[in-house]
Structure formats: C-alpha cells, structure tokens
Structure 1
Amino acid sequence: MQEQFLISAKPDLQKARQCWLATLAGERRLSALTVEAYERDTRQFLQFLTGHCAGPPGIADIADLRPADLRGFLAARRNAGAGARTLGRGLAGIRSLLRFLERQGLVNAAGAAALRAPRQPKSLPKPLTAEDARRVVSAREQLAEEPWIAARNAAVLTLLYGSGLRISEALALTGSDLVNQRETVLRVTGKGGKTRLVPVLPVALQAIAEYRRLCPFHLGAEGPLFRGARGGPLNPAILQREMGKLRSALNLPDTATPHALRHSFATHLLGRGGDLRTIQELLGHASLSTTQIYTGVDTARLLEIYESAHPRA
C-alpha cells in the first residue's frame, strides 16, 4: 500500500506503521476498505499527537501512551463531528497498531487496552408493514419454480412472522415437530440453549401441512423438517436468496429480510397492545432491555405517520 498523504511522524514510526498496514493487507487479509479506514484513522491520530507532543511523534513518544492521551484524541475527533461508530473504529485501528509494535518490544499497549470504546448507539429494527408481511408469507407470492420449494419457503417465512422465530430456530425443527395440525404451541430452543414456548397460528400449520404434502423427501422424525433441493438440511443462505427475489418482485425495501419478519412479529404485537414482558418471553430475550428497543420502533412509526399526515407538521 503506497502512502498518499504526508504523515506527521518521525521516520522510525512511519516505517513501522507502513509495515503494520502491509501486514493487515497481506497476512491478515483485511479488506481494502478496512485497511484504508485504519490508515486514515491512525494518520489522524499521529496528526493529533504532533500538536499534543509539540512535534512529530516517534516510537519513543508513543511507547507509554496513557488512556488520557487517547481520550484527548477521541474528544478532539468528537468535537470535529465524528460519531460513536467512527470513534470506535478509530480506537480499534490505534489499538491494532500499538499491539503490532508491542509484539516487537517497541511500545506498551496497556494504555490503549484499558480505554473503553465509545458506546455504540443501538439501531432500531426495521420491520415490514403488516400488509407487506402478509404478502411475503403468502404461498401465492412465492417465486420458486418447484411447487414444493415454494410451499417450503412459505412455511418457513410464515413461522418467522407468525411465531417470531429466528431463522436458525426454524431450520432446526425436525420432522417430529408440528405433525399434528391441532398443535398450537411449539417448544423452541434458542440462544444459549434457552427453551421457550411459542404459539403456532393455524395459517402456519396449514402452510407446513402443504409443504409436507408436496415435499419429495421422507421427513423422518430425527431429520430436519425443512429440506434443501437435494434433500439435505436447508441452508439459511438459500432462504435469504429467495427473500431477495421476493423483495424485487414485491417492490420491498432492502431491509425486508427473513429476520425482519421476526422484528415485524414483535412490532405488530406491541402496536396491537401486547405487553413487553410477554413479547420478551415469545422472542426468547434474556433481558427486557433487549425487547424495549421495539418501543422505539413504534414511537418512530407514530412520528412518521404524524409528520406525513398532519397538515402543520
């Protein structure tokens, strides 16, 4: 990687930094964009140290950086308009450089390791509208050429939206699950081995029954319920790809993913009066604070409607 900018550092630190960047791109095989970002972040850090140390820094000047020095850099970047994600990435780049130099016995990276990264803002889930969710899970909308594959896709997507399952949880079901259409509750093992009970809607049971009827493979009790085209376990990437086809056909946003159906399940329940504690149990969240993010989605949606509909908004 060729230097394209004037680096505010003494030759020994410039050379060491160049070796570090080459290691990132060569041995660690980081993407070109990541290496470019780390180059930019550490260049900005060295420019800050030039003012902080009253001259271009060398390896000796950064040998014992304190957390206070790094906090000063982050504060300067924040004052310049950098957000939490940018600051976090910048700190990660600096830590990587210092660890590289520490392995060569040149610096002590303890100060950087002791500094806590800026807290990252939580991005709100992006659910589908109720109408779009219904269109996605409708068997009539499926685009697969094989009828049994279309029925399979519809059954999986209906479970994601109707029961709030993660895609991994749906694909972990076996042939012994949901055999009887009178079953209304499913026992699911989620993250951390935590087991929960989720309701299964009649429409989901009908979709699964139709898939079972059309599936050309024997669905044994111990084998996976949802199969790939050759009879093996269904790969999540296949379902992601099928969802991409639906996005294009139904003119849905890029945020319409299989996992967005789980978000839609929670958001639509909350919008219809469901209480957070119950939704927490249905989703299998260990903490109520994880579920509370959906209150932000609902509030954001209300404001969006207000701003688009109110004549004085």
Structure 2
Amino acid sequence: MKPFARHRRLRRNEAIRSMVREHHVQVTDLIYPLFVVEGNGVKEEIPSMPGVCHFSLDRLDEEIDEVVDLGIPSVLIFGVPNEKDACGSSAYDENGIVQRAIRRIKERHPGLYVIADTCLCQYTDHGHCGVVEDGEIDNDSSLELLVKTAVSQARAGADMIAPSNMMDGFVAAIRQGLDESGFTNIPIMSYAVKYASAFYGPFRDAAHSAPQFGDRRTYQMDPANAREALREAASDVEEGADLLMVKPGMAYLDILYRLKERFDLPVAVYNVSAEYAMVKAAAQNGWIDEQRIVMELMTAMKRAGADLILTYHAKDVARWLRGGMIG
C-alpha cells in the first residue's frame, strides 16, 4: 500500500488535542458591551437580546462588579439618553449619560479598561450618525461634533475612544482633537470596516437608534465589497488609528483575515447583536448546544485573526473558560 499521512495520531485524546491546538480563546480577549440609561432602579432585559440589559447608573455597579469578578478586562459603553436633538448634543455633554457612567465605573474599578463608543446616532432625534443638512449627512460638520464627543469622553476618564460613525476623516479629526486637549495617550480603536448590515437590528432596539428616515448606506459599507475594506482601513491607519475593528463578525471573517494579513495593528471584531440573538433564540428552543456553538464562533474569530472580540456572550464565555471549557 502506498504510504499515507496518519493525521489522526494527533487527535487521539484530549491531551494531545490541547497540546497541538493552534488557537485559544482567553478571557483577556473579551470586551463586554454595556447599555446605560437614565433613571433609577433600571435593570431591564432587552427583549431581542436575552440576558443583555439596560442599566441605570444606580444599578450599574452590580453588573460591573460581576464583569470584574469574571476577569473580563474591558467594557464598551453605549449611552441611551432621555433627550435627543438634531445635533446629538447629549453625546458631548460633560454630564451626559456616558460621561457619568465612565466616571462611576472608574471610581469603583479604576483598573477596568473602559472604552467609549463615539457616535451620534443614539443622541440625534433623526437616528443618523452625523449632522443632517438638506436631507443628507454632512460629513465635515459631523466631524466637529464627534471630536467634541471624544474629548468629553476622555475627560470623563475613558481609557480608549472607539469611533463608530464611518464619516470620512474621523480618525484624523479625533486624533487631532484628543492631542490638542492633552489626551495624547488615549488610543483610538477605529470601527474601520463597518458594513451596512442587517445584523444590527437588536442593537437598534437596545440603543433606540434606528434612523427616522432613509438608511445608513451612504456612510456604512456595502456588504458586497472587500477591497474597499482595505482602503477604509488603510486610511484609518494613515490617520493615526491604534487598533482596527471589523463589524459585524460572523459574516465577515474573510474581511477580518484580510485586515490581519495586510496591517500590523491589533484587530478587533464585533460579534454583533443579531449574531448573539440568533444563537440565544436557537438555544432557548433546544435546537443547539449553546456553549459549544458560542465557543466555536469565538475560536473562528480568533482563527481569522481577531486579537480582541467584542461580544455580548462575554460573561458566559468567561464562566465557561473558568469552568475548564476549552477554547
């Protein structure tokens, strides 16, 4: 018989499988997104995102304490204000919901790494990520407000700024604004490649940020385009981004791989709301093994090149890893 490879020799038992495993999910890979709202005594589950809640500031401590206890190193903060206007002024209000949340978290857990999402869509009455003029999203006037937002978040104590707006030149504008305000050491994790995706539906329920007219396809990317993703990322690298992000995750692992191969910056991936909701719904119906499915997805993102994973599954993953689940 002609000799053939015995690949199964390295799969015979868990000991050898773990020894030769190429990619591992670790708790230090995880960033946990949080939704903070106005009011008191609020801890309300988001119907389309089982297990994910809105928290008022007075209920935020218990969630943050759990995150820290699980060893999750970082949180991403989204704010849901009571009042909105055409220019999203509460986004850059020094006493805005995100700014107050950041200060509260850093006072209680100074070592927790707090990332601020920097966008206007949750704060504008029209739900778009920039200023609307004559029915269009005006790029350059939007940049001015995004800079004000980033600086106010840094002033509140954010460790990192994560701009998600997809305006042209947003990294350069925010980098200049941070530097001029004395925040030269605050890094920017750019939502460099953010697609106009149907996978954001539950998030828009959570953040109350659905556009009131039109859609976001004039500034978010066409899901059919891959080379454009490299152009977008290259612009952000040139403008001073410290990390790059791909959003969504599951349907865009090829894009994640391309960025990791092309650029030498750390790359993050956002495992977004509908990706989370689909897994939760299938698990609640008993159709899948949730733990194995989630860990397989996390591993796929690591295999595709993710250095960091933003995921609503973070607390569950941290528990499974603590319990000995192999990633």
TM > 0.5 fold call:
no
In our comparison, the structure showing a higher alpha carbon Rg is: 1
Structure of greater relative contact order (alpha carbons < 8 Å, 6+ residues apart): 2
Bigger helix share: 1
Bigger strand share: 2
Structure 1 length normalisation: TM-score? 0.27
Structure 2 length normalisation: TM-score? 0.26
